Amino acid sequence: MTMSKPPVLDQPIQGGSLLAALDSLLADDLAAVERILWNELESDQPCVKDILQHATRFRGKRLRPILVLLSARACGEVNETHRLLAAVVEMIHIATLVHDDVLDEASTRRHVATVNARWNNETSVLFGDYLFTHAFHLASELPTSHACRIIGRATNKVCEGELTQIHERGNLDLNEETYFKIINGKTAELTAVSAYLGAHYADQPVEVVNAVEAYGRKLGLAFQIADDLLDIVGVEKKTGKTLGSDLKKQKLTLPIIRLLATATPADAASIRDLLSHPEDETAGQLREYLHKSDALEYTSQTAHKLVEEACEHLNVLPASQARHWLCEIARFSVERSF
């Protein structure tokens, strides 16, 4: 396959241009990942084929497999192990999305119906489990069990993060420390392990692998903070998914935690009342308080600071096109508005 020439690197790339550049840079490897993924998931059952086909419509930007491949390239070369593991992390990510939509009672993702909306919760739970089991079956094909252990541990932490978030629903005294523990598990763990796999299976020394993993973790934290901000102030037509689920489920995120911490006693009492009785209008009512506080700016600055720290971790690697794109991905993750 002949790849088109990637864009020049002297300007930050955003949105579709960034994704097009990455698709161009990693075209052959991403195509190989797709073949591995669908060969593993192939089924003779028509109902399973139908769900799989539907799930392809809300897979998103393939961030986790791209992190595996791009980290590998920044550390050396992409090999067949990287391609296989990129397919594994993508399966795990899709599984978490399917389960998340059940937890959030979400009806749309990427402008299409979620699995639970089109079918039912039972189908969603079983389909997510189906993806998890296939992911570990595929990872078991490697000569050693190291990847299975690392990915298994990461998946455990993802579940711990989600369980903690459910446990803390309705806790209007949730602090930033606990919030960061939650998002470190539910989101950052999988981006961290994706970057780790790229560096580790490129035979890099432990200090380099650790730095690349730290990049992935900071990226994941920033990405989730930006997502939480969009859940409150985003527009569903742009994001393509159900918004406001955090408020409806009484899950406190950084903008609200900051708002409560800095509000006057009178405003804090009104905000707590709104949060305690969430309705469709709650997000709109909260925006009045958010816009007269520093909560939105504080949340955005926190995400941007994490992005810069993520890029600093990559300084252990030689300058390259791949390292450049890793930083661009991190910056794009907090500047998206869809």
Give the pLDDT confidence of 293-335 residue by residue, as tens digits: 999 999 999 999 999 999 999 999 999 999 999 999 999 989 8
Statement: the pTM of the whole predicted model exceeds 0.85:
yes
The neighbouring-strand residues paired with 112 are 109
Predicted pLDDT at 336: 65
Judged by average pLDDT, the poorest of 37-41, 175-179, 245-249 is: 245-249
Q: Which residue has the higher pLDDT, 124 or 302?
A: 302
The C-alpha atoms of residue 189 and residue 156 are separated, in whole angstroms, by 10
Give the CATH number of the domain where residue 250 resides: 1.10.600.10
**% helix, strand, coil for the chain, step of 5:** 75, 0, 25
Sheet strands (E) in 43-121: 108-109, 112-113
Confidence of residue 2 (pLDDT cuts 50, 70, 90): very low
Question: 7 pLDDT exceeds 70?
Answer: no
Boundaries of domain holding 244: 15-335
For the stretch 232-289, pLDDT in tens is: 886 544 444 455 678 888 999 999 999 999 999 999 999 999 999 888 888 888 988 9
CA–chain centroid gap for 105, Å, is 18
Predicted pLDDT at 338: 34
141 domain-assigned: yes
294 domain-assigned: yes
For the stretch 75-86, pLDDT in tens is: 999 999 999 999
Tell me which DSSP letter residue 110 carries.
Answer: T
| Cα-based distances in Å from 312 to 91, 172, 214, 305, 315 | 29, 34, 10, 11, 5
67 domain-assigned: yes
Task: Please give the tally of structural domains in the chain.
Answer: 1
Question: 196 pLDDT exceeds 50?
Answer: yes
Predicted pLDDT at 154: 95
9 domain-assigned: no
289 domain-assigned: yes
The C-alpha atoms of residue 160 and residue 152 are separated, in whole angstroms, by 12
User: Do 231 and 245 meet the contact criterion of CB atoms below 8 Å apart?
Assistant: yes
- Cα R_g (the chain), whole angstroms: 20
105 domain-assigned: yes
Share of residues in the chain with pLDDT > 70 (%) = 90
Share of residues in the chain with pLDDT > 90 (%) = 62
For the stretch 51-93, pLDDT in tens is: 888 877 766 678 999 999 999 999 999 999 999 999 999 999 9
7 domain-assigned: no
User: Do 135 and 127 meet the contact criterion of CB atoms below 8 Å apart?
Assistant: no
> Over the chain, what is the mean pLDDT?
87
User: Do 180 and 161 meet the contact criterion of CB atoms below 8 Å apart?
Assistant: no
Confidence of residue 1 (pLDDT cuts 50, 70, 90): very low
Q: Which residue has the higher pLDDT, 2 or 170?
A: 170
